[in-house]
Structure 1
């Protein structure tokens, strides 16, 4: 299952920088994870200062 970014996201970009497969991009309201590209590694959750990425 891919990770998802919840509404706690502060759009800092730390998750995108930490993603090894470049599955994260800036969306309209906050950063978003492309579920088709995400490899469920959890790197985004480890770099996020507010804990916005979570397993789906």
Structure 2
């Protein structure tokens, strides 16, 4: 079982820190003025769909877990209009 430098196991620590408000969840957001409707965000992120003109509709903006954070960072980095960001 992995331990941190202070000797704790880390099991349940993230849950406790989140419950105490010490960990902030990231949320995906889009700058609607800057967005040009390429739709790359909808291809990469499960909580994003496109309207009939190709502009994103963000249904679930929460970024969950390390994998979700990595995917969201990739979507932000690859957005052609630089309209996607994490808050």
TM-score (norm 1): 0.67
Structure 2 residue runs of 5 or longer lacking an equivalent are 1-25
User: 4+ runs of 1 displaced by more than 6 Å?
Assistant: none
Query: Which residues in structure 2 correspond to 1:5-44 (within 5 Å)?
Result: 5-7=30-32, 8-19=34-45, 22-27=46-51, 30-33=55-58, 34-36=60-62, 38-39=63-64, 41=69, 42-44=73-75
Q: Which has the higher helix share?
A: 2
Cα RMSD for the two superposed structures: 2.3
What corresponds to 2:79 in structure 1?
A: 48
Structure with higher RCO (Cα < 8 A, 6+ apart) = 1
Contact 1:5 1:53 in 2 (8 A): yes
Q: State the structure with more CA Rg.
A: 2
